[in-house]
Chains A and B, each alone.
Chain A
Amino acid sequence: MPIRTVMKANEAAAWAAKLAKPKVIAAFPITPSTLVPEKISEFVANGELDAEFIKVESEHSAISACVGASAAGVRTFTATASQGLALMHEILFIAAGMRLPIVIAVGNRALSAPINIWNDWQDTISERDTGWLQFYAENNQEALDLILIAYKVAEDERVLLPAMVGFDAFILTHTVEPVEIPDQELVDEFLGEYEPKHAYLDPKRPITQGTLAFPAHYMEARYKVWEANENARKVIDEVFAEFEKKFGRKYQKIEEYRTDDAEIIFVTMGSLAGTVKEYVDHLREKGVKAGAAKMTVYRPFPIEEVRELAKKAKVLALLEKNVTFSVGGALFQDFSRTLVNEKEKPVIVDFILGLGGRDVTFKDLDEALAIAQKALNGEEFDEVNWIGLRKEIL
């Protein structure tokens, strides 16, 4: 019987790791995800999780040890956030390039400077081009479920890529919510033992991993990472379907809410999706034809789903907690590019908000709505908008 209880997203992530039974965990504490390695330490100390837990001296070594362990053919896990993830950056490319299905739980947190421990998505967004799969949780249940799903996708022979699961700092990491812990037997059936097909650091069948490639081979290796990301789209759908069958909870790459007759669709990720759904209800009561869409999967980018979504709206209002110093945020660029050659396409408006843990309130969303409505009515509007800025201190 699954256990229904209440816990923080950090605990949910630790539980997911416990259920997935990684053989090696390597982690280093960073706010807001510190509780993840602490909880796992408890599991290991109590014999509830039979794993080697390497208490490394940095995140760089955490991910390096995971790469070593994964290269030796075992399931591995780590957790981090913000500066910790940034310190892993170099090795993230390597893990993907070496096709090692490591899973990282990330408590999404802003990056310095100024130092800030609160939520935005700049940390994982900055790693969007490393070749890692990226999932974003709306709530603590999703944090747990998506980690299990991430393993299943990552370890699929058609994919073999590492995956990160983001859940918002403090909004989820430190907030207690109802969570259902699935049965271990069901998880075992769902995930199975990780058995890499190739020999990994096996003295009886020695192979060389992490080689140097000249121009004659490098591009093909990168192509394989790209291809694996492409394959992941289909595999993710399959795994979502299997997960729903086993555990009864439905996941979609893009989850839609009241989009059927919507003129303006607000698109977002993570915990903000909850706020936005409520906001849409509130708008509907006022007769505004608004809908919401939540990106559960950001890498691989759900191209087809975005195109389908775009057919439903006149305006796509993107609400994103990150900035790129190109045009707007990362979502804006991905959405714009995905739709650029469509014959019929909605107007896309970008909203940068909630950085460094700033609350996103209905008042902020009203501000966004007003701009989106200008776009809807063919009036002049700004493509990229910073919402909730305190102009008086600028």
Chain B
Amino acid sequence: MAVRKPPVTTREYWAPGHAACAGCGCATALRLATKAFSEAMEEKYGDPDAFAIAQATGCMEVVSAVFPYTAWKAPWVHVAFENAAAVASGVEAAWKKKGLKGKILAIGGDGGTADIGMQALSGMLERWHNVVYLMYDNEAYMNTGIQRSSSTPYGAWTTTSPPGKYSIGEDKPKKWVALIAAAHQIPYVATASIGNPFDFVRKMKKAAKVDGPAFVQVHCTCPTGWKSPLEKGVEIARLAIETGVWPLFEIENGDFHNIKIQSPGGGAKVKREGGKIVAIEFKKPIEEYLKLQGRFKHLFKQPEAIDQLREQIKAMWKVLGVEVTLPKPEE
């Protein structure tokens, strides 16, 4: 009887037994990312283990490396919150000098990447280190108990963006971190989601195989911080793609004229010109994504805030070169 090859390696580097919350989408992202990395290393260097990880402080760090235990089956180092990219630079330089073949994976949350770690990230990308930087984007500082970051979406509740008489929750649009990364004209930038794991694995492999720096921003759910049902992580992440909230794309060598936008699915109508997506008519309203999460609950009492969010999402797609129509839910 023929045995089907599993879609991604059965090797584990992020082992069971870590202390993440049940249903943590970021844990799923890290597990997939390391598997993808391993496959890429096997294909590129003939050695599935040829990588090391430098990780920023945050949820994924504290749940995986509690002395005297570790969830890591790969060489792994954590130094501080803001410096995963700089630490990875040092590791990469050391590997180069030692003649070790392989690639360094730097990992940070949205806080450790988009906020406090932005400078170190920019430096690392600009210096062209052979590092893949993976930003797992759960859209807030979860490790310190759900405070807003510059990657928190408009309208979201966090403990430092609480809705109130004078507040609708987070009042700034989400930062376009992947575009900032791409502005460094590095070989590879991509957004991904645990709502599309095959795509994520493909992108991580691609990132791991390029020579030079790469940046991948993966949207991942956090049931604790998003106040969402534990078992609906992947579904929610997929809805973010299908409603237009989270665009999936790739940018190579900082070529903003050639952003590879991907079809969102979910019945969306996609218009192409010369193979390139130029317009998307989404079928599912963003409310379908929002309503599964307690962090957006208050918005449903202020529909104009949801409209505001819709406008921001359109503006984001416009920067990506795509005209989108975002439906309102049927009354």
Chosen A-B contacts, 15 in total, with CB atoms closer than 8 Å, are: A23-B97, A24-B94, A56-B89, A65-B87, A68-B86, A71-B90, A72-B94, A72-B98, A201-B75, A203-B100, A203-B102, A206-B72, A212-B61, A212-B65, A212-B66
B90 touches A208 (CB 8 A): no
Q: Which residues in chain B, 78-109, are within 8 Å of chain A measured between CB atoms?
A: 78-80, 82-83, 85-98, 100, 102
A206 touches B89 (CB 8 A): no
Report Cα–Cα, A207/B52, bound state, in Å: 10
Report Cα–Cα, A209/B65, bound state, in Å: 8
User: Which chain B positions have C-beta within 8 A of A201?
Assistant: 52, 75-77, 91, 94-95
Q: Which residues in chain A, 171-200, are within 8 Å of chain B measured between CB atoms?
A: 199-200
User: Which chain B positions have C-beta within 8 A of A318?
Assistant: none
Give, as a whole number of angstroms, the nearest-CB distance from B218 to chain A: 22
A64 touches B75 (CB 8 A): no
The 8 closest A-B CB pairs, nearest first, are A68-B90, A57-B123, A65-B90, A72-B94, A64-B86, A61-B86, A68-B87, A64-B83
Give, as a whole number of angstroms, the nearest-CB distance from A196 to chain B: 11
Q: Which residue of B lies closest to A95 (CB)?
A: B79
Question: Given the interface contacts A57-B122, A64-B87, A203-B50, does A69 sit within 8 Å of B73 by beta carbon?
Answer: no
A211 touches B87 (CB 8 A): no
User: Which chain B positions have C-beta within 8 A of A200?
Assistant: 75
User: Which chain A positions have C-beta within 8 A of B70?
Assistant: 208, 211
Report Cα–Cα, A56/B121, bound state, in Å: 11
Q: Which residue of B lies closest to A208 (CB)?
A: B70
Task: Number of B interface residues at 8 Å Cβ cutoff, please give it.
Answer: 47
Question: Given the interface contacts A56-B123, A91-B80, A210-B79, does A68 sit within 8 Å of B72 by beta carbon?
Answer: no
User: Which chain B positions have C-beta within 8 A of A68?
Assistant: 54, 77, 79, 86-94
Taking Cβ atoms with an 8 Å cutoff, the residues of A that contact B are: 23-24, 26, 51-52, 54-58, 60-62, 64-74, 76, 90-91, 94, 98, 199-204, 206-214, 217, 221
User: Which chain A positions have C-beta within 8 A of B98?
Assistant: 23, 72-74
A211 touches B65 (CB 8 A): yes
Report Cα–Cα, A51/B124, bound state, in Å: 18
A64 touches B66 (CB 8 A): no
A58 touches B123 (CB 8 A): yes
Give, as a whole number of angstroms, the nearest-CB distance from A53 to chain B: 9
Give, as a whole number of angstroms, the nearest-CB distance from A297 to chain B: 27
A211 touches B66 (CB 8 A): yes
Question: Given the interface contacts A57-B120, A61-B123, does A203 sit within 8 Å of B52 by beta carbon?
Answer: yes
User: Which chain A positions have C-beta within 8 A of B68?
Assistant: 217
User: Which chain A positions have C-beta within 8 A of B74?
Assistant: 203, 206
Q: Which one of B67, B73, B127 lies within 8 Å of A206 (CB-CB)?
A: B73
Q: Which one of A56, A58, A60, A212 lies within 8 Å of B62 (CB-CB)?
A: A212
Question: Given the interface contacts A206-B73, A206-B75, A211-B78, does A71 sit within 8 Å of B120 by beta carbon?
Answer: no
Report Cα–Cα, A65/B77, bound state, in Å: 12
Q: Which residue of B lies closest to A52 (CB)?
A: B93
User: Which chain B positions have C-beta within 8 A of A69?
Assistant: 90-91, 93-94
Report Cα–Cα, A57/B95, bound state, in Å: 21
Question: Given the interface contacts A91-B83, A203-B49, A208-B72, does A26 sit within 8 Å of B77 by beta carbon?
Answer: no
At the interface, yes or no: B47 with Cβ under 8 Å from chain A? yes
Report Cα–Cα, A301/B276, bound state, in Å: 68
Report Cα–Cα, A66/B72, bound state, in Å: 22
At the interface, yes or no: B289 with Cβ under 8 Å from chain A? no
Q: Which one of B50, B72, B85, B97 lies within 8 Å of A52 (CB-CB)?
A: B97
Give, as a whole number of angstroms, the nearest-CB distance from A76 to chain B: 7
Q: Which one of A51, A55, A58, A66 lies within 8 Å of B127 (CB-CB)?
A: A55
User: Which chain A positions have C-beta within 8 A of B77?
Assistant: 67-68, 71, 201, 208-210
User: Which chain A positions have C-beta within 8 A of B93?
Assistant: 23-24, 26, 52, 54, 65, 68-69
Q: Which residue of A lies closest to B94 (CB)?
A: A72
Report Cα–Cα, A23/B119, bound state, in Å: 24
A24 touches B90 (CB 8 A): yes
User: Which chain B positions have C-beta within 8 A of A73?
Assistant: 94, 98
Q: Which residue of A lies closest to B87 (CB)?
A: A68
Report Cα–Cα, A346/B94, bound state, in Å: 51
Give, as a whole number of angstroms, the nearest-CB distance from B21 to chain A: 16
Q: Which one of B51, B78, B92, B94 lies within 8 Å of A209 (CB-CB)?
A: B78
User: Which chain B positions have C-beta within 8 A of A51?
Assistant: 97
B83 touches A60 (CB 8 A): yes
B95 touches A61 (CB 8 A): no
Give, as a whole number of angstroms, the nearest-CB distance from A155 to chain B: 15
Report Cα–Cα, A64/B117, bound state, in Å: 12
A203 touches B75 (CB 8 A): yes
Q: Which one of B87, B97, B120 lies within 8 Å of A74 (CB-CB)?
A: B97
Q: Which one of A52, A58, A91, A206 lies within 8 Å of B76 (CB-CB)?
A: A206
Question: Given the interface contacts A56-B89, A61-B83, A64-B86, does A23 sit within 8 Å of B94 by beta carbon?
Answer: yes
Report Cα–Cα, A76/B85, bound state, in Å: 17
Q: Which residues in chain B, 94-142, are within 8 Å of chain A measured between CB atoms?
A: 94-98, 100, 102, 119-120, 122-124, 126-127
Q: Which one of A24, A94, A208 lies within 8 Å of B79 (CB-CB)?
A: A94
Given contact pairs A58-B119, A61-B124, A213-B67, enumerate 6 new A-B contacts (beta carbons under 8 Å). Answer: A56-B127, A72-B98, A201-B91, A204-B49, A206-B73, A211-B65
Report Cα–Cα, A365/B54, bound state, in Å: 52
User: Which chain B positions have C-beta within 8 A of A199?
Assistant: 75
B120 touches A60 (CB 8 A): yes
A91 touches B91 (CB 8 A): no
* Contact pattern, B 16-59, Cβ under 8 Å of A = 1, otherwise 0: 00000000000000000000000000000001011110100000
Report Cα–Cα, A91/B83, bound state, in Å: 9
B51 touches A203 (CB 8 A): yes
Give, as a whole number of angstroms, the nearest-CB distance from A203 to chain B: 4
